[in-house]
Amino acid sequence: VNADFEEPWTLVGSFSTPLPTIGTLYTWDVSLVDGGTYYVRVVSENDCGLTSSAITTIRVDKSGPSLAISEPVTGSEICGTTTFSGTVTDGCGVEWFLEYRVPGGPWALIAVGGGGVVNCDFATWDTRTVPDGTYEVRLRATDPCDNQNAIVRTYSVFNAGGCPREADLNGD
Q: How far is the C-alpha of 29 from the C-alpha of 12, rounded, in Å?
A: 9
Please state the pTM of the whole predicted model.
0.72
Mean pLDDT, rounded, for 27-31: 84
| 26 pLDDT higher than 90 | no
Strand partners, 89: 66
Q: State the chain's mean pLDDT as an integer.
A: 87
Selected residue with higher pLDDT from 125 and 162: 125
CB atoms within 10 A of CB 129: 11
- Of 83, 112, 87, residue with least CA distance to 99: 112
Beta-carbon contacts of residue 2 (< 8 Å; ≥ 6 apart):
8, 9, 10, 38, 39, 41
Percent of the chain with pLDDT over 70: 90
Mean pLDDT, rounded, for 134-149: 94
| 5 pLDDT higher than 80 | no
Q: What is the pLDDT of residues 54-81, one digit of tens each?
A: 888 888 888 889 999 999 999 999 999 9
Confidence of residue 109 (pLDDT cuts 50, 70, 90): very high
Percent of the chain with pLDDT over 90: 50
Q: What is the pLDDT of residue 164?
A: 67
Mean pLDDT, rounded, for 139-146: 92
Q: What is the pLDDT of residue 123?
A: 97
Mean pLDDT, rounded, for 120-139: 96
